[in-house]
């Protein structure tokens, strides 16, 4: 019965999200139109471009990214929107996270477990349809170049979505155009990781072998060349290897030389660029994480990170009212914490921007969160890096509009640097890569080869803490792999209850009083 159900539903629980059905054993009345659409070149091209939107909205979604970044104590918020307070709440002495993933169909907080599973498998289903139509059914989209463009982007999305499953869940389904859905079975997270990396490298290979530019509408604002798509794929491959580990022991097992191989062909090799998606007020394109956390009243920078930026003034834990004072950070990304103009003072507790204002962070006199939910949520530092209005204007990222990165050249630099450090590569090159932000953006003393492995890793981690903020759930993956999470915090997600229930499999979970994650696959 399991295989029959999977076959009828294209093998993906994501079909639940698309049809709002409660069982995979259903007849799809739209199937004839779907079949015709997959032979229509225009519809197929639109489907290829649409995978980027579904993938990015899944990655940026607060249901998961908001929870993970607050669990990582990167951002902080006591609001329970999207289950944030529920999953980031600590015990009475603030030293342990007591909450496992609520992987039960009756639990309201189950939605955080489902979010990425449904979103990524929905994207993977569409991407696989595109590749199958091009490779198996020989559909031509306008011309050879446009066909290869759709194929390369669909391959990129196959790899990126399977990477999302590998990084977040203990197991999943490996699905592509060659999969026999009648015999579909779970693959462990390591197998998922390897399949994802192989598909990302395949996407890069196809992109490099062809000349094209993506339509700007595919990211709601920017076009990317075939060379850039290839380099995005290599950065995501390096990221998949580096952010897969559930703890420091697994981190030591990463093939860091392979990370160097991929990152050296990534987004900071050659002419640097970021992979940008542009919000439209959350009508269709939405970076929900920045909508919340680049808003000074929506969320704050955890005092753990604020203390790294300025250990003199920003105490961790939060000292209680009146809170931490105006900063005087040596890091130009915080500076004196000034921000905006006089119009913001009453509403946000900021003070007007000076010549020493930070580029990424701002100070607020207001402690915005409910005291009864724990003073450990409070912070006086907000994240304003992507607020291009400079004044919390609702027509900017604060209102769900404007450009935001899903991957950056800086991310590639830091992956590349870490690969070099951990694989006995050039420490001088690693220092240069770290200094691209440490010195250029932060104005801090330069890292050098003389810092040695330990010193460079310390400076690398500082840059990871600052530069990954706002890029979806990346801070969580970084904290997890260096044993930086609070005890009791889940380190991965189980297969969601909605999937387990349909397949008649027992419910289970991770975190809290349960183990934080599955054992390391062989």
Is residue 107 included in any domain, yes or no?
yes
CA distance 82 to 363: 25
Question: Quick one: pLDDT at residue 34?
Answer: 57
Same domain, 413 and 498: no
How far from each other are the two terminal CA atoms of the chain, in whole angstroms?
30
Same domain, 495 and 456: no
Is residue 516 included in any domain, yes or no?
no
Q: Is the pLDDT of residue 10 over 60?
A: no
pLDDT tens digits, 200-222: 999 999 999 999 999 999 999 99
Same domain, 7 and 140: yes
Q: Tell me the average pLDDT of the chain.
A: 93
Same domain, 466 and 496: no
More confidently predicted of 95 and 62: 62
* CATH value at residue 27: 1.25.40
Same domain, 413 and 443: yes
* Six-digit token string for 325: 């004072």
Q: By percentage, how much of the chain surpasses pLDDT 90?
A: 89
Same domain, 213 and 280: yes
Is residue 97 included in any domain, yes or no?
yes
Is residue 395 included in any domain, yes or no?
no
Please state the domain count of the chain. Answer: 2
Instruction: Tell me, yes or no, if the pTM score tops 0.85.
Output: yes
Quote the domain boundaries for residue 253: 2-289+491-502
Question: Quick one: pLDDT at residue 71?
Answer: 98
**Three-state DSSP state, 307:** helix
Same domain, 104 and 46: yes
Is residue 332 included in any domain, yes or no?
no
Mean pLDDT score, 69-84: 97
Question: Quick one: pLDDT at residue 35?
Answer: 67
Question: Quick one: pLDDT at residue 344?
Answer: 82
Same domain, 159 and 201: yes
Is residue 476 included in any domain, yes or no?
no
Closest CA relative to residue 285, chosen from 387, 180, 406, 189: 406
Question: Quick one: pLDDT at residue 2?
Answer: 31
Residues 235 and 266 sit within 8 Å (Cβ to Cβ) = yes
Question: Quick one: pLDDT at residue 345?
Answer: 74
Is residue 310 included in any domain, yes or no?
no
Same domain, 267 and 415: no
Question: Quick one: pLDDT at residue 4?
Answer: 29
CA distance 276 to 160: 15
Q: Is the pLDDT of residue 486 over 80?
A: yes
Same domain, 67 and 107: yes
Same domain, 115 and 252: yes
Question: Quick one: pLDDT at residue 23?
Answer: 31
The CB density around residue 308, as the number of other CB atoms within 10 Å, is: 19
Determine which helix (DSSP H) or strand (DSSP E) holds 404, and give its type and residue range: strand 401-407
Question: Quick one: pLDDT at residue 24?
Answer: 32
Same domain, 42 and 170: yes
Is residue 385 included in any domain, yes or no?
no
Mean pLDDT score, 494-513: 97
| Residue 70 phi, psi dihedral angles, 5° rounding | -80, -35
């Amino acid at each position: 019965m399991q295989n029959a159900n999977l076959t009828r539903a294209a093998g993906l629980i994501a079909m639940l999200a698309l049809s709002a059905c409660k069982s995979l054993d259903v007849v799809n009345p739209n199937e004839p139109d779907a079949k015709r659409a997959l032979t229509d070149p225009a519809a197929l091209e639109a489907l290829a471009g649409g995978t980027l939107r579904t993938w990015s909205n899944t990655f940026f979604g607060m249901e998961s990214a908001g929870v993970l970044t607050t669990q990582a104590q990167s951002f902080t918020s006591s609001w329970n929107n999207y289950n944030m307070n529920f999953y980031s709440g600590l015990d009475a002495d603030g030293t342990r996270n007591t909450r496992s993933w609520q992987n039960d169909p009756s639990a309201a907080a189950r939605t955080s477990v489902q979010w990425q599973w449904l979103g990524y498998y929905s994207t993977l289903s569409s991407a696989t349809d595109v590749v199958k139509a091009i490779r198996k059914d020989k559909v031509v989209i306008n011309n050879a170049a446009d066909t290869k463009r759709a194929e390369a982007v669909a391959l990129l999305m196959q790899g990126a979505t399977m990477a999302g499953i590998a990084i977040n869940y203990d197991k999943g389904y490996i699905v592509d155009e060659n999969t026999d859905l009648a015999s579909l079975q779970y693959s462990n997270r390591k197998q998922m990781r390897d399949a994802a990396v192989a598909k990302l490298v395949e996407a890069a290979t196809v992109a490099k072998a062809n000349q094209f530019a993506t339509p700007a509408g595919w990211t709601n604002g920017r076009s990317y060349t075939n060379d850039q798509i290839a380099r995005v794929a290599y950065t995501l491959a390096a990221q998949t290897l580096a952010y897969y580990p559930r703890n420091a022991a697994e981190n030591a097992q990463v093939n860091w030389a392979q990370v160097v191989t991929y990152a050296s062909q990534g987004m900071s090799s050659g002419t640097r660029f970021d992979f940008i998606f542009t919000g439209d007020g959350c009508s269709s394109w939405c970076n929900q994480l920045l909508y919340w956390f680049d808003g000074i009243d929506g969320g704050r920078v955890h005092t753990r990170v604020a203390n790294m930026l300025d250990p003199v003034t920003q105490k961790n834990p939060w000292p209680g009212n009146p809170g931490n004072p105006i900063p005087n950070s040596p890091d130009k990304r915080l500076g004196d914490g000034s921000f905006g103009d006089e119009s913001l003072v009453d509403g946000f507790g900021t003070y007007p921007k000076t010549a020493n204002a930070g580029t990424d962070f701002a100070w607020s006199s207001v402690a915005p969160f409910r005291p009864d939910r724990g003073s450990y949520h409070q912070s006086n530092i907000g994240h304003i890096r992507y607020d291009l209005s400079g004044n919390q204007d609702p027509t900017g990222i604060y209102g769900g509009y404007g450009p935001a990165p899903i991957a950056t050249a800086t991310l590639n630099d830091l992956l590349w640097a870490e690969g070099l450090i951990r694989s006995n590569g050039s420490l001088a090159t690693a220092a240069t890569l770290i200094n691209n932000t440490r010195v250029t953006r932060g104005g801090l003393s330069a890292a050098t080869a003389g810092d040695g492995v330990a010193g460079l890793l310390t400076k690398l981690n500082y840059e990871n803490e600052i530069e990954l903020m706002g890029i979806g759930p990346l801070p969580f993956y970084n904290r997890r792999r260096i044993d930086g999470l609070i005890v009791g915090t889940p380190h991965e997600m189980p297969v969601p209850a909605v999937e387990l229930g349909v397949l008649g499999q027992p419910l289970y979970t991770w975190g809290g009083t349960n183990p934080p994650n599955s054992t390391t696959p062989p």
